[in-house]
Amino acid sequence: MERLDRFMARANAAYYATHDPYRDFTTSPEISQVFGEILGLWAAVVWEQLGRPEPVLLVEAGPGRGTLMADALRAIGRVAPAFRAALRLHLIETSHRLRALQAERLPGATWHDGLDTLPNLPVLLLANEFLDVLPIRQFVRRGAQWFERYVEEGRFLEWAVRPPPLAAGDWGEGAEGIAIFELNESALAVGQSLGSHLSTRPGAALFLDYGPEHSACGDSLQALGNGRPTDPLTSPGSSDLTAHVDFAAFAAAAHAAGVAIYGPLAQGLFLTRLGLFQRTDRLARTQPPAQAAALIESARRLAEPDRMGRLFKALALCSPACPTPPGFEA
Ligand code: SAH
């Protein structure tokens, strides 16, 4: 019997160590090169806003195949050569299989298992679909009774807990019946750690991920294996386990550590404000009709509300001295 978060951490570590995740799912940087370009230029503008600190860390958490960062660096090199010269590339990645792929596309990077070993310098951090893979705990309330979920032989077991590990008010006190609550302690630790880093050094972090705008109850654990949704509890290590990001809880953890919060803002709005369609049109004009149509279709997929434009959100954490970062203007 294993607590759900420990089960999920073990399953994902095994999955990312042995699988090519892009056979099972695709992500925004793999859909359009403009995604990484926009995030790279976002970092370049924030670097200017911070007064061009040098050297500065450009960090990505969970870089996958390295596509986002390769697109970002190409755009930065063209548009912001001074930032390109000032930055040191650091990657947070636990999978050695993916580190090898990243090394091919991002020579000269330095790798870390977590945030704690980053050098003590100004930082600009980017992360797409990183928080959603971090392990969650699940609590079930049946009437006045609380239970925590454990996994045994492909099934959930529930153990009574009293009291649950958050204040009752945080869990929607007073509602009747059965409700499931999720707690992502690893994500909260990332928020706290970045929050304290950014409250004492200039910098900013941009997270794109999926989840509701406000904390919500419900079971959001899901598994993708062999390109299809599968049961998250059977055959750990053969599928990618994710859960919705609780942006409000993550932002609160970072805010308590001393940073300013911007968003969460719908991904479609964020990318559109930063020129997704203008840049896509410019690229499309250089292409034959079929490729041009595919480029425009991929931008729509990222931005349209009923596709990835609304469920995905952008959230920025900024050091207190930083003005409003691009895309988050009121
Ligand atoms: N950002 C990429 C990949 C998303 S998949 C993209 O948009 O395509 C999640 C990434 O996080 C993978 O690179 C995976 O190996 C990495 N990862 C998973 N768990 C991690 C952890 N606990 N710490 C650091 N990286 C992790």
69-81: pLDDT as tens digits: 999 999 999 999 9
Q: Cβ of 267: how many Cβ atoms within 10 Å?
A: 27
pLDDT of residue 130: 98
Q: Contact at 8 Å (CB) between 237 and 14?
A: yes
Domain span holding position 295:
24-133+185-216+239-318
The secondary structure of residue 281, as a DSSP letter, is H
In a domain? residue 4: no
- Residue 200 and residue 291 in one domain: yes
For the cut 90, the answer to whether the pLDDT of residue 216 exceeds it is no
Which residue out of 19, 95, 132, 239 has the highest number of ligand 1 atoms within 8 Å of its CB and is therefore the one to mutate? Answer: 95
Do 269 and 148 belong together in one domain? no
211 with 314, same domain? yes
| 97 plus 59 within the same structural domain | yes
Residues 193 and 245 in one domain: yes
* Same domain (yes/no): 88, 165: no
CA 191 to chain CA centroid, nearest Å: 11
82-140 per-position pLDDT tens digit: 999 999 999 999 999 999 999 999 999 999 999 999 999 999 999 999 999 999 999 99
Confidence of residue 182 (pLDDT cuts 50, 70, 90): very high
Phi, then psi, of 185 in degrees rounded to 5: -70, -30
| Number of C-beta neighbours around residue 152 at 10 A | 11
What confidence score (pLDDT) does residue 175 get? 56
Full-model pTM: 0.96
Residue 48 falls within a domain, yes or no? yes
**Tokens 């095994």 belong to which residue?**
14
Residues 174 and 275 in one domain: no
Nearest Cα residue to 298 out of 26, 22, 16, 13: 26
167 and 80, same domain (yes or no): no
Domain of 120: which CATH number?
3.40.50.150
Residues within a 6 A CB radius of ligand 1: 12, 16, 21, 27, 29-30, 62-64, 68, 92-95, 98, 128-130, 133-134
**Closest of 79, 57, 292 to residue 198, by C-alpha:** 57
Residue 287 lies in a domain: yes
Whether 323 maps to a domain, the answer reads no
List 312's β-bridge partners, or say none: 210
Give the chain's domain count.
2
Atom 11 in ligand 1: residue holding the nearest Cα? 62
Minimum CA distance residue for ligand 1 atom 10: 62
Tell me which residue has its CA closest to atom 2 in ligand 1. 64
Query: For residue 14, how far is its CA from the centre of ligand 1 (angstroms)?
Result: 13
Cα-to-centroid distance, 142 and ligand 1 (Å) = 34
Rounded distance from Cα 130 to ligand 1 centre (Å): 5
Query: Above 70 in pLDDT, residue 172?
Result: no
pLDDT tops 80 at residue 177: no
CA distance 8 to 237: 9
User: For residue 93, how far is its CA from the centre of ligand 1 (angstroms)?
Assistant: 6
| Residues 128, 149 within the same domain | no
In a domain, 212, yes or no: yes
| 12 CA to centre of ligand 1 in angstroms | 10
196 and 280 part of one domain: yes
171 and 198 share one domain:
no
User: Based on the domain organization, do 145 and 246 belong to the same domain?
Assistant: no
Residue nearest to atom 3 of ligand 1 (CA): 64
Protein residue with its CA nearest to atom 5 in ligand 1: 64
> Residue 8 C-alpha to ligand 1 middle, in angstroms?
14
Residue 33 is encoded by which pair of tokens? 């090169």
Model confidence at 217, pLDDT cuts 50, 70, 90, reads: confident
Inform me whether the pLDDT recorded for 168 exceeds 60.
Answer: no
| Closest ligand 1 atom, residue 60 Cα | 1
Tell me, yes or no, whether 56 lies in a domain: yes
Residues 206, 127 contacting (CB under 8 angstroms): yes
Q: Residue 253 falls within a domain, yes or no?
A: yes
Asked if residue 176 has pLDDT above 70, the reply is: no
